[in-house]
Amino acid sequence: MNKKHINWENILAAQIKAANVPKPKTQFKFCETRRWKSDFAWPDRKIIVEVEGGIWVNGRHTRAIGFQKDCEKYNAAALLGYRVFRVTPQHVSNHYAIELIKSLILY
Protein backbone atom coordinates (compact mmCIF):
# COMPACT_ATOMS: atom_id res chain seq x y z
CA MET A 1 0.00 0.00 0.00
CA ASN A 2 1.27 3.44 -0.88
CA LYS A 3 1.85 5.28 2.42
CA LYS A 4 0.86 8.68 1.07
CA HIS A 5 -2.72 7.44 0.69
CA ILE A 6 -3.06 6.18 4.27
CA ASN A 7 -5.25 8.33 6.50
CA TRP A 8 -3.00 8.64 9.53
CA GLU A 9 -5.55 10.69 11.44
CA ASN A 10 -8.02 7.79 11.23
CA ILE A 11 -5.37 5.36 12.42
CA LEU A 12 -4.48 7.60 15.36
CA ALA A 13 -8.18 8.01 16.19
CA ALA A 14 -8.51 4.21 16.34
CA GLN A 15 -5.44 3.99 18.57
CA ILE A 16 -6.90 6.64 20.88
CA LYS A 17 -10.15 4.71 21.11
CA ALA A 18 -8.37 1.38 21.75
CA ALA A 19 -6.25 2.98 24.49
CA ASN A 20 -9.36 4.18 26.33
CA VAL A 21 -8.15 7.75 26.17
CA PRO A 22 -10.97 10.29 26.59
CA LYS A 23 -12.42 11.05 23.19
CA PRO A 24 -10.89 14.14 21.61
CA LYS A 25 -12.69 16.70 19.53
CA THR A 26 -11.66 16.26 15.90
CA GLN A 27 -11.36 19.11 13.44
CA PHE A 28 -11.81 21.39 16.45
CA LYS A 29 -12.05 25.09 15.59
CA PHE A 30 -9.89 26.59 18.33
CA CYS A 31 -9.88 30.19 17.09
CA GLU A 32 -12.99 32.37 16.74
CA THR A 33 -11.55 34.69 14.12
CA ARG A 34 -9.88 32.17 11.77
CA ARG A 35 -10.90 28.94 10.07
CA TRP A 36 -8.10 27.01 11.74
CA LYS A 37 -8.96 23.56 12.99
CA SER A 38 -6.88 21.06 14.90
CA ASP A 39 -6.70 17.37 14.05
CA PHE A 40 -7.31 16.35 17.67
CA ALA A 41 -8.08 18.53 20.68
CA TRP A 42 -8.90 18.14 24.31
CA PRO A 43 -10.15 21.69 24.92
CA ASP A 44 -10.70 21.16 28.64
CA ARG A 45 -6.98 20.34 28.94
CA LYS A 46 -5.93 22.93 26.32
CA ILE A 47 -4.09 20.24 24.32
CA ILE A 48 -3.91 20.01 20.52
CA VAL A 49 -2.32 17.18 18.54
CA GLU A 50 -1.56 17.65 14.85
CA VAL A 51 -0.62 14.84 12.45
CA GLU A 52 1.85 16.26 9.94
CA GLY A 53 1.29 14.18 6.81
CA GLY A 54 3.19 14.28 3.55
CA ILE A 55 6.57 15.05 5.07
CA TRP A 56 8.45 12.64 2.78
CA VAL A 57 6.56 13.44 -0.41
CA ASN A 58 6.83 17.23 -0.48
CA GLY A 59 3.39 17.54 1.05
CA ARG A 60 1.68 20.69 2.19
CA HIS A 61 3.39 20.78 5.60
CA THR A 62 6.88 20.83 4.11
CA ARG A 63 6.43 23.34 1.30
CA ALA A 64 7.30 26.92 2.20
CA ILE A 65 3.81 28.46 2.23
CA GLY A 66 2.26 25.48 4.05
CA PHE A 67 5.01 25.49 6.65
CA GLN A 68 4.62 29.23 7.16
CA LYS A 69 0.84 28.94 7.58
CA ASP A 70 1.28 26.05 10.02
CA CYS A 71 3.63 28.21 12.10
CA GLU A 72 1.00 30.96 12.24
CA LYS A 73 -1.69 28.46 13.23
CA TYR A 74 0.40 26.82 15.97
CA ASN A 75 1.54 30.17 17.35
CA ALA A 76 -2.08 31.37 17.49
CA ALA A 77 -3.06 28.21 19.37
CA ALA A 78 -0.22 28.77 21.84
CA LEU A 79 -1.26 32.39 22.36
CA LEU A 80 -4.76 31.08 23.18
CA GLY A 81 -3.23 28.86 25.86
CA TYR A 82 -3.09 25.55 23.98
CA ARG A 83 -0.13 23.20 24.10
CA VAL A 84 0.44 22.02 20.54
CA PHE A 85 2.03 18.63 19.88
CA ARG A 86 3.03 17.64 16.35
CA VAL A 87 3.43 14.03 15.23
CA THR A 88 4.30 12.38 11.93
CA PRO A 89 2.86 9.31 10.21
CA GLN A 90 5.88 7.36 11.46
CA HIS A 91 5.02 8.46 15.00
CA VAL A 92 1.55 7.01 14.49
CA SER A 93 2.80 3.74 12.98
CA ASN A 94 5.47 3.15 15.65
CA HIS A 95 3.03 4.10 18.47
CA TYR A 96 5.04 7.09 19.65
CA ALA A 97 1.99 9.32 19.03
CA ILE A 98 -0.43 7.28 21.15
CA GLU A 99 2.12 6.91 23.94
CA LEU A 100 2.62 10.69 23.90
CA ILE A 101 -1.14 11.26 24.02
CA LYS A 102 -1.55 8.78 26.86
CA SER A 103 1.15 10.56 28.85
CA LEU A 104 -0.58 13.90 28.24
CA ILE A 105 -4.15 12.81 28.94
CA LEU A 106 -4.05 9.82 31.31
CA TYR A 107 -1.19 10.60 33.67
Q: At 102, is the pLDDT very low, low, confident or very high (cuts 50, 70, 90)?
A: very high
Question: What is the number of other CB atoms lying within 10 angstroms of the CB of residue 83?
Answer: 13
What's the half-sphere exposure (Cβ side, CA atoms, 13 Å) at 16?
22
Distance, CA of 77 to chain centre: 12
**Which of 9, 2, 5 lies closest to 88 in space, CA to CA?**
9
Q: What is the pTM of this model?
A: 0.84
> What span, in angstroms and rounded, lies between the C-alpha atoms of 44 and 6?
30
- Summarize pLDDT for 67-91 with one digit per residue, the tens: 899 999 999 999 999 999 999 999 9
Q: What is the set of domains in the chain, with CATH numbers?
A: 3-105 (3.40.960.10)
